[in-house]
Amino acid sequence: MICHIEVNTEYGSYYCVDCNIIFHVNCATRDPDFFYVVSPENEDEKPLDISLNSITNVLERNDAGEATIIEHFKHNHYLTLSDKIREYGNKCCDGCMLLISDSFYYCSECEFFLHKACAELPKMKPIWFHPCQLATLVLTSDNIFRCEICDILSNGFAYKCNECGMHTCLRCQAIPPDALSCPGHEHPLLFYIDFVGRCSACGLDISTAFSCKDCNYSVDPLCMLLPTRVSHKCDEHLLALTYHDIHDYSKHHYCDICELKRDPSRWFYHCTTCDTSAHVKCALGEYSFIKTGSIYKEGDHPHPLTFVKKTKLYPECTNCGEPCEELALECAEPECNYLVHWKCMNPYVSGSTFLRRIDF
C-alpha cells in the first residue's frame, strides 16, 4: 500500500478488514506521523462516526431516490438539484471553488452553488495525511483560510482540525492514498510518500508523487489537483488543462497572457476554439480560489465588504491610491466609495507558495 510491492502474508503485516488494505510492518511504522499505537483498553473504541453528511434535511426526492431539494447546514436557503452544466458551467461551487462540472445544487435566491458530491460530504471525517492523530476534522466555511496542503488561499469549504486549527480544502481532502488515473497518461499512477525525481507536469524536483510503475511518468500531488477548466479574461471561452502540446512548431510555444515562451512538454491551459494557450500559473492567477461577490467578514470598515475583481475603469485603491486591477474589497453600501486592494487590507497574506514556485 505504501511501497506498492507485494506483501508476503507468511510474514508479519498490518491489515484492515474493512478497507481491504495491507502494509509491510516496516512501511506501516516507518513514519511516526502516520500511525499511533492503540492501547489494549482502547482496542474496542468506536471509530469516528462519519455517516452524518452535510445535508441537514431532504425536502423532496425524485423517482430514483435522489434528493432534489435539500437544506444544507452551511446555507440559509433551500437548494435544488440540477444537471444543467451548460447553463451554469461558468459558475463556481462554493464548496471546492471549482467550476461546476457535475450534478450540483443551486440556490434560487442567491448565487450559491454546491456540487452534489460536495453537498454530501460528511460533517466530520479523518484525513489520512493530517498529522494530528485522533483529531476530529469538522467541515467549516470560515471566511478566508490557507490550506495546509496546497498552501492556497480560499473562502470555500474546508475541514478544520479541532486540535491544531489547520484547514484542508475540499480539493486536497480528496487525495487518495493509493492510485489515481490521469487524463494525460495511459497507466494508473500510484502514490509514493518517498519519491526522488521530477514532476512530468511542472518539471520541478518533488519528494512525493503519483508515479507510474510501467514508465517514467510522475506527477506532484498538487499538480494532480489542478482544475481541469478555468476562466480567464484573455479568452471568452473556458480554458482546458492540456497535457500534451498540440503544435509541433516553435512559434506556438508561447503564453498568450504573459507573452513569454513556455515549455511544450509541460502542462498548460488551452482554448481549442481561439487557439489560446497559457502557462498554468498565468491562467490560474494568484487568487483563483477566492469567490468574487462573497462577503468579507473581517476588518475595521463599518460596512460589509464584497470581493471584486476590477477589469474595467480600474478605480483607485482607497489605501495606496494605485488602480485596483486585481482582487479587491468594495463596500456594499452605495453611498460609500471605499475600495481597497486585498493586498493592502492584508499586507502579510499573499497567494499560494505552490503557484509562486511553479514555472509552467
Q: Write out pLDDT tens, residues 252-307.
A: 899 999 999 999 999 999 999 999 999 999 999 888 899 888 888 777 888 889 99
Cell of 105: 445544487
What Rg, from alpha-carbon coordinates, does the chain have? 23
Torsions phi, psi of 357, nearest 5?
Answer: -90, -25
Residue 222 DSSP one-character state? H
Question: Which residue is listed with cell 494530528?
Answer: 132
pLDDT averaged over the chain?
A: 85
Nearest to 148 by CA among 356, 297, 343, 352: 352
Segments of 212-336 assigned E as strands? 218-219, 229-232, 235-242, 268-271, 276-278, 295-296, 305-309, 327-331
Q: What is the pLDDT of residues 143-201, one digit of tens each?
A: 788 998 888 989 999 999 888 888 999 999 988 877 888 888 889 899 888 889 999 99
Q: In which band, very low, low, confident or very high, does the pLDDT at 133 lie, cut at 50, 70 and 90?
A: low
Nearest to 161 by CA among 180, 148, 143: 148
pLDDT at 31 over 60: yes
Give 95 or 10, the one with higher predicted confidence: 95
Q: What is the pLDDT of residues 46-99, one digit of tens each?
A: 555 566 778 889 999 999 899 999 999 889 999 999 999 888 888 999 999 999
pTM to 2 decimals? 0.83
Give 251 or 102, the one with higher predicted confidence: 102
| Helix/strand/coil for 144 | coil
